[in-house]
């Protein structure tokens, strides 16, 4: 059973946590319903329950791994965008008059200092 195949994509094409949770609940309900219909010996029932738990946990781990990979990609994208914006600002400042350049350099220096203070805490 594949949770990703049974979920609906969010508006941005990503699977939401609520979708994954709903799909997992659906899997568990179907499996539990089929066990209620089939009376089995105690050992067979334990083995089947173990099998269901294993399938659900493997699916959950795969979903978590996928989310981690997506978050890492997003972090890399945001970092590269931040560097690009910093380069563009530097280019803009280099074309300004010395008085304007000094104003912006002071402003960005204060921002960096505040960020360093925030990171220390």
Global pTM value: 0.44
Between 25-29, 83-87, 98-102, the lowest mean confidence (pLDDT) is in 25-29
Domain total of the chain: 1
Tokens 């959950």 sit on residue: 60
| Mean pLDDT on 12-39 | 69
Q: How confident is the model at residue 85 (pLDDT cuts 50, 70, 90)?
A: very high
Higher pLDDT, 101 or 15: 101
Tokens of 55: 């399938």
* Residue 94 domain boundaries: 3-120
Gap between the Cα atoms of 43 and 45, Å rounded: 5
């Amino acid at each position: 059973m594949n949770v990703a195949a049974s979920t609906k994509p969010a508006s941005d094409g990503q699977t939401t946590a609520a979708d994954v949770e709903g799909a997992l609940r659906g899997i568990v309900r179907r499996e539990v319903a089929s066990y209620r219909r089939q009376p089995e010996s105690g050992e067979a029932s334990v083995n089947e329950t173990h099998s269901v738990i294993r399938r659900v946990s493997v699916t959950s781990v795969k979903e978590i791994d996928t989310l981690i990979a997506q978050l890492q990609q997003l972090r890399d994208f945001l970092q590269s965008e931040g560097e690009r914006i910093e380069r563009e600002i530097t280019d803009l400042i280099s074309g300004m008059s010395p008085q304007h350049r000094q104003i912006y350099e002071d402003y960005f220096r204060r921002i960096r200092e505040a960020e360093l203070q925030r990171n220390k805490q």
